[in-house]
Each structure stands twice: as C-alpha cells, then as structure tokens.
Structure 1
Amino acid sequence: MSKGKSGNSRLWPILGLTMLLCTALMLVGFAAALRDAWFPSRGIAVPEASEPPKAAEGGLADKPQWLVAALGDSLTRGTGDETGEGYVKRTVALLKEASGKPVKLVNNLAVNGLTAIRLSDQLEQRGVQQAVAQADIVLLTIGGNDLFQIAQSGGSIAEGRDVSPELLERLIPQTEPLLDEIFEKLRRINPNARIVYVGLYNPFYDMEQARSMSAHILDWNDYAHRLAAADGNATVVPTYDLFESNVKAYLSSDHFHPNAKGYERIAARIVQSLE
C-alpha cells in the first residue's frame, strides 16, 4: 500500500504540470488569434478590383497604334446608311490609311434615340468607362434628339409640319449644361484621349420655314467649340455647311440622318481634323 501511495504522489504533480502547460499554450494561441483579428498584418490586404487599361499619355503622333471608342446617338450608330458602315467604321478605315498605323475600334456604344441626359447616365456604367478609359480617340455625337424633338414625330418631318425654330431656341440653353457635363465626365474617365465631337446640322434647310433654325444650330456648335477649347484636347468637326448645300445629296430618305455619301463626308472631315 505504501508503494501505491508513493507512485500516486509522484503522478499528480506530473499531471498538474502537463495541464498547466496545455492551458498556457491555449492562452498563447487565443492571444495570437485576437491580435490577428484586432491588429491585422499590413502585409495582408484584400485585393481590389482591377482597373481598366488607361490611354497612354502623349500626342496621337507619338502612339504606335490608335484605339477608338464611339459614343452617342443614331448618327454614331450609322442610321440611314444602307451599307451599315456609318461614319465610325469609315473613320477607322481612313485613319489607318492616312496614319499608316494600326487603328482599332474598341466599341461603338451609340444608341438610337439617345439624349444628352441618358448619355451622361451611360458614362456612369463600368463597361462604358472601361471602353472610354483605354481609347486614344473618342468619337461623339449628341444633342440632336434633345434639340430636334420633332424627330420623334415620324412622317410629319418630311411633310414639313412641327418644324419649330422657336422650340429649338428654347431647348438649347437647357441642353448646353448637359453637354458640359458629358465633356467633364469623359475627361475624368480618360485624361489623355482626343475627344472628337461631330457638330450638328440643319436637316430641314430645304424647308423655307426651317431655314432660320441654322442660326440656332450655329449657336449650339459655337458652345461646343468653347467647351473643346477649354478642354485643350478636343475637336469639334463642322458638318452644317455640308448639309445646307447638299441636303438631297447627303440625307437619307428619313430627311434627318445622313446617307452613305453623307457619312463619307463626315468621316473625311474627322480625319482631316486629326491630321
């Protein structure tokens, strides 16, 4: 009996020491876990979403290739052109020929019927921003659906009804701030791209009651010129003179959009503006 008591007396201290060590290890592990939770290592970070590639700095002449993004309304979509080319694809082809460089269309994001406020909203979309951010050249038409609301009236255009110079004059001051907003958003998305805005024209110049609209359209284009000058890397391409002297030759049958020949002339002027 004395031997058993002696063995038990030696075993209890060993067990006690073992339990004490285990408790200490648990406390150390718990403290380490709290430290990692409360004070995470600076070397560990949650990965952020990748940013779209940015257009390289410098002038167009310094770049080995040109990436083009197109935005806006039905004119940039190419409506009225029976070939489906519009001015955008023609511009890309002519730029390749004139520059001798690779020229690629990143995306044509134009939407038929797009207004200035809807384009401003579109520029908040991630996919649109990615296309604009990587472009060296941004082609743009907007304002026609805001100022020529008569374009929504169907056949009355060709018949000459609902053509209102007075309405156009009232709409211009309401739409100019939206054009300013679009320029600002484009520049925030891409500080380096050349913005090319295609100016408006009077598609109803052959109608006597609509000829006075040309003066208001020139006011609109002049405002766009001032925005481009303030930007410093933007161009406004004039088109009003083309259509005033050649309405029947350059307009499609809807009496509003250019036909293939009209888009050819617009593309040629864009290329000239970039030379």
Structure 2
Amino acid sequence: MRRSKWLWPTLGWTTLVCLLLMLTGFGWALKDSWLPESGIALPEPSAPEKATGGDWSGKTELYVTALGDSLTKGTGDATGEGYVDRVVERLAKEMDKPVHLVNNLAINGLRADQMADRLEEKGFATAISKADIVLLTIGGNDLFQVAQDGGSLAEGGDLSPELLLERLPGLRPRLETVMSKIRELNPTARIAYVGLYNAFYDLPQMLGASDVVAQWNDYAFALAKADGNATVVPTYDLFEFDLKKYLSSDHFHPNEFGYSRIADRIVQALQ
C-alpha cells in the first residue's frame, strides 16, 4: 500500500522533469535559428550567377547597335548585307517580334584603341545606350596589321606567328577597355562579340597564327564571362575548315556565305 502511495507521484514528477528538459532544449534550438549569435549565424544563400542570356520576353521589340571594323561594315560581301542586316532579319523571325537596327557604326580599318576613343563621342554613346543588343567585331586590325610599306594581305605581308605572339600582350588591354566602356554606356545590353579567325590558314608559314588567334579568343571569353551578359561567337572553325568557301577574293574578309554563317551563329547565341 505504501509502495503504491509513492509510485504515482514519483512517476508524475519524473515525467514533468523530462518534459521540462525537452521543452528547454527545443527552446534553445529555436533560439539558435531565430536569434543566432555572432559566429553561428546561418550562411546567406549564394547569389545566383549573372545571366548570360538576354531576357527579352517582356519586350515587344528589340533594338540593335553594331560596332566594329570592316567585318561589321560587311566588306567583302557582294550583296552588301554583311552579317548585321542578316542578324536583324533572322532574329526578328526567330523571336517573332520587330528588331530594329539603331545604327551600324562600323569603320573600315578600325583598331580597338581607336574604338575606345570613338566611344567617347556622343553619337556612339547615344546609339549604344538605346540598344538591347550590341554586335561587336574588333581586334583583327590590331593583330593582323600589315607593313606600312604596303605588304600584301594575300602574301601575309610581314606577318609571322612569332610577331603576332609578340604583339598579343600589349593588345589585350585594348579589348578590355572597349568592353568596359560599352558596359558603362549600357549596363543591361547583351554584347555579342564575334571572335577572330586566321584568314591566312592556307599559308604554311601562317599556320601557327591560329594558336595566337585562339589565345585572343580565350581572353575575349574570359572578359565575357566576367561581364556576365556578354557572349563570344566563335568563327575560327568555319574558316579553317573551309577557307576558300567563306573568304572573299581579298583573302581577308568573309564573302556572302561567310557572313551568312556568322549571322546564323550570332542568332543562335542570342536565343
């Protein structure tokens, strides 16, 4: 009788103590989650990577500004279209919305250092600021300069892979400056940079130039990745695999077929 008298109170107090201990532990767990102390705070979620594609779903029309050298000018294309007009037309068809060319500001023979200066001009700045897409070719004239005494492009002039490699480190900052200035003028536009190719691939003494071109393009890829809303459109393989089919008679610029293939790749990159 005496045994049963103490049994139930003992069990009751034991149960109550266990319940209090459980509630205390639960409370401390909630405290760490709701009011974390310095040093034990839960880490913030990682920021998402910057988008590498333009989200134009909310836009009823798009605007394109083209910058660059003779490739953006369309030199070598007997039809006069070049790649820019083809991109505008095909992009409008693929995206099923109007695509307008704000301006084609390409200049034959333009180098990257000269473009950097041009970007300070009001006309360039205005056209870039209005664009959803900036098409860009630059660097070919920096890298493949021929001798001032009129060296022949078809013969390679005074060019050699060794000379190109020697020039490369001093030329890279020019491209970075151009990309940075474009981004300053337009923080949101998608930049599509058309990579370089070796127009002299069929000349035995210039086969090694492809390695230098690849290094230039790799640097452009790094700049595009750092930017987060830019892309490099590769072209080197088109010309190395079928140089005669895609080069014009001047042995440097694309012909209409070459420009058409470049346009296809740009449109694919922008979708």
Relative to the length of structure 1, the TM-score reads 0.77
CA contact (8 A) 1:74 1:110 kept: yes
Query: Is 1:252 the equivalent of 2:248?
Result: yes
Give the C-alpha shift of residue 223 in structure 1.
Answer: 0.2
CA contact (8 A) 2:72 2:84 kept: yes
CA contact (8 A) 2:147 2:158 kept: no
CA contact (8 A) 1:136 1:192 kept: yes
Give the C-alpha shift of residue 59 in structure 1.
Answer: 1.9
Give the C-alpha shift of residue 153 in structure 1.
Answer: 6.4
Give the C-alpha shift of residue 98 in structure 1.
Answer: 0.6
Give the C-alpha shift of residue 166 in structure 1.
Answer: 1.0
1:141 alignment counterpart: 137
Where do 1:25-36 residues align within 5 Å? Answer: none
SS in 1 for 2:245: helix
1:209 alignment counterpart: 205
1:125 equivalent among 117, 121, 125: 121
Change (3 A) 1:59 1:241: same
For the pair shown, the structure with the greater C-alpha radius of gyration is 1
Relative to the length of structure 2, the TM-score reads 0.78
User: In the TM superposition, what whole-angstrom CA distance separates every residue of 1:15-66 from its partner, at most 9, and x where no partner exists?
Assistant: xxxxxxxxxxxxxxxxxxxxxxxxxxxxxxxxxxxxxxxxxxx722332111
CA separation in 2, counterparts of 1:237 and 1:211?
22
CA separation in 1, counterparts of 2:108 and 2:147?
12
CA separation in 2, counterparts of 1:242 and 1:102?
29
CA separation in 1, counterparts of 2:156 and 2:270?
37
2:223 alignment counterpart: 227
User: In the TM superposition, what whole-angstrom CA distance separates every residue of 1:79-133 from its partner, at most 9, and x where no partner exists?
Assistant: 0001110000010011011110100000000000001111000000011100000
Give the C-alpha shift of residue 158 in structure 1.
Answer: 1.6
CA contact (8 A) 1:145 1:151 kept: no
**What residue ranges of structure 1 are gaps of 5+ in the alignment?**
1-57
CA contact (8 A) 1:115 1:143 kept: yes
SS in 1 for 2:232: strand
2:194 equivalent among 192, 198, 203: 198
2:164 equivalent among 165, 168, 178: 168
SS in 2 for 1:61: coil
SS in 2 for 1:150: coil
CA separation in 2, counterparts of 1:271 and 1:154?
37
Query: Is 1:218 the equivalent of 2:214?
Result: yes
CA separation in 2, counterparts of 1:188 and 1:171?
27
CA RMSD of aligned residues (A): 1.4
CA separation in 1, counterparts of 2:158 and 2:235?
23
CA separation in 2, counterparts of 1:80 and 1:177?
29
Change (3 A) 1:152 1:237: farther
Give the C-alpha shift of residue 151 in structure 1.
Answer: 7.8
Give the C-alpha shift of residue 163 in structure 1.
Answer: 3.0
Where do 1:1-275 residues align within 5 Å? Answer: 59-150=55-146, 156-275=152-271
2:21 alignment counterpart: none
User: In the TM superposition, what whole-angstrom CA distance separates every residue of 1:57-76 from its partner, at most 9, and x where no partner exists?
Assistant: x7223321110000010000
SS in 2 for 1:60: coil
Give the C-alpha shift of residue 161 in structure 1.
Answer: 4.3
User: In the TM superposition, what whole-angstrom CA distance separates every residue of 1:183-222 from its partner, at most 9, and x where no partner exists?
Assistant: 1111110000000000000000011111111011000000
CA separation in 2, counterparts of 1:148 and 1:227?
21
Change (3 A) 1:152 1:143: farther
- Count matched residues: 218
CA contact (8 A) 2:61 2:99 kept: yes
- The one-letter code of the counterpart of 2:153 is I
